[in-house]
Structures are given as C-alpha cells and as structure tokens.
Structure 1
Amino acid sequence: MDDTESNTLVAKAILKRCGSVVPDTAENGLEALEKLRKRRYHLIFMDCMMPEMDGYEATRAIRDGEAGTEHMDVPIVALTANAMQGDREICLASGMSDYLTKPIDPRLLVESLNAWLGRKHGG
C-alpha cells in the first residue's frame, strides 16, 4: 500500500515476479482497513505517509482489531522515504513489524517477503 503510483507500480512488479504472491493496493489507510475487513492478507507493506489516514494510524488500527481480529498479528513492513535516525523506531513503536526505505531495493523487498512469509520467493 503506497500513496505514490510509481512506487506502487515498482513494488507490484517486484512482487508479481515472485510467483505465488498476488499484490493488492490501497490508496490510503482508510481503504486499507476496508480491504482487510473483506479479505485475508498474510503480509502488508505499508507506506507511512498516505493521505486521509497515514500508515502509522492504519497500523495502530490494525493492531487494535479495527480490521478484524485475524489481522491483529499480520506482519506489517513499513515502506517509507523517511530514512532519518529514529524513523525505524517510530515505525516499530506504531506496531509495524519491520522497516524498508524508498526508493525500493528489489533485493531487500524480496528478502523481507521471504523472511515474513517463511518461504522462498524468487525475484
């Protein structure tokens, strides 16, 4: 889930190359919560700076069960342009499981996918 179309397209292309991964997107945190209420997801790549509801708020809402109790423990990996000292800690404090910076490094995205889903994907 990302607020910038070019970042979304890059991430989706990388994830599609991984084979069994079917990426889905949301324009903002509110839409992300709606999608989570309707479908089961096993991993979320969350942009921190989305409109309407940012990734931090969306993550807290997911952790609080607002998207359904089945998603309260889903791995949420931050995808953010924020790469300053302390940004990783802010993401983790909001309830995110991991942190990746933009521009997206395809190798790191696939490594994160493999680590959190516990299986090997190509890239």
Structure 2
Amino acid sequence: LAAPPAFTVIRGPAMPVAAAPESTTTPNGPIDILIAEDNDVNQLVFGQILNGLGLSYRIAGNGRTAVEMYRALRPKLILMDVSMPEMNGYEATRAIRAMETSTGTHIPIIGVTAHALKGDRDKCIESGMDDYLPKPVSPDRLGTKIGTWLSETVVAKTA
C-alpha cells in the first residue's frame, strides 16, 4: 500500500504562482533550485515541498524562460518538466548544456515526466539530463533526489 501524500492540494481560485514572493530567493546570487514546470498545480506542489525543505527556488513556466533563468540565476540544480510550451524540457536541457560547454560548468538537471514509460528515462539521459523523476512527485522522493545531487542531506519532513 502506498502512503498517502504528505501534502494536500486545495482546489480553489487559481493563484499566480509565477509571482512567488521574493523571500524564496537570495537577493542577488545563485538559488538552490530552478523549477521548469508549466502546470500551475505542479508548480504549487514543488513550491510547497521545497519550502518545507528550506530551499530557495524560482519557477520558469516554459523551457525558453528556464534557459534564460538558468543563465541569470545559476541554480545549483534544475527540475526540468519534459513537456512544456515554447521549448520542451529536452530542448531546454540541450540549450543549457551547450552554454555549459563554454563555461566549463555542469548543473545537475533532473527530468520530471508524467510518462513513466520504459524509454522515458533514456530520453532524459540522452538529452543531457542527469537523472529522472516520474510524476506524481512525492516529498520523500524529491528530497532524496535533491539530496543526492546537491550532496547535502535534505530530509523531507515526515508526519
């Protein structure tokens, strides 16, 4: 039996998640996590989990914005939804990897996809992503993935 999710999604009037309070990021410096996700509910879920872990983050609503925010914010890690408008997660990852060749850096990118099919992990890795996380995303699994890639002990709060 699967444990119930550690968060509750409340369906109500849509709140503009993109206008996240500035307190979620350091004033002018790198952030912990860049979330590339176009779905409002998923943005909210990611935000709640990362707030619970005490991590700074910003949300990009599409792949093109994610590439621009990567360039500006230099996150320590990117959670990249694979299916987004304007530029999908695979294309955005390839664009970021191309920029990294000139800087000699490598930011971990975790592909996030609702398609838990056999070839999906391979598609993520082939596009330059470092890891893969199927949806729905649980706080425990997300905390473990982030902890693995940031080499920090990030423990999701358990009830």
TM range (shorter): over 0.9
Q: Match of 1:7?
A: 42
Q: Is the counterpart of residue 55 in structure 1 residue 89 in structure 2?
A: yes
The CA RMSD over aligned residues, in Å, is: 1.6
Pairwise CA distance, 1:22: 0.6
Q: Is the counterpart of residue 96 in structure 1 residue 129 in structure 2?
A: yes
Q: 2: CA distance between counterparts of 1:36 and 1:44?
A: 8
Contact in 2 for aligned 1:49/1:80 (Cα 8 Å) = yes
Render the CA deviation track for 1:30-80: whole Å, top value 9, x for unaligned.
1011111211110000000000000000000000117x736x510000111
Contact in 1 for aligned 2:140/2:155 (Cα 8 Å) = no
Q: Is the counterpart of residue 16 in structure 1 residue 51 in structure 2?
A: yes
Give the unaligned 5+ runs of structure 2: 1-35
Pairwise CA distance, 1:122: 2.9
Pairwise CA distance, 1:121: 1.7
2:58 counterpart SS class = coil
Normalising by the residue count of structure 2, what TM-score does the alignment of the two structures yield?
0.72
- Higher relative CO (CA 8 A, sep ≥ 6), structure 1 or 2? 1
Q: How many residues align?
A: 121
Contact in 2 for aligned 1:17/1:122 (Cα 8 Å) = no
Normalising by the residue count of structure 1, what TM-score does the alignment of the two structures yield?
0.92
Larger radius of gyration: 2
Q: 1: CA distance between counterparts of 2:39 and 2:103?
A: 29
Q: Match of 1:77?
A: 110
1:86 counterpart SS class = helix
Give the unaligned 5+ runs of structure 1: none
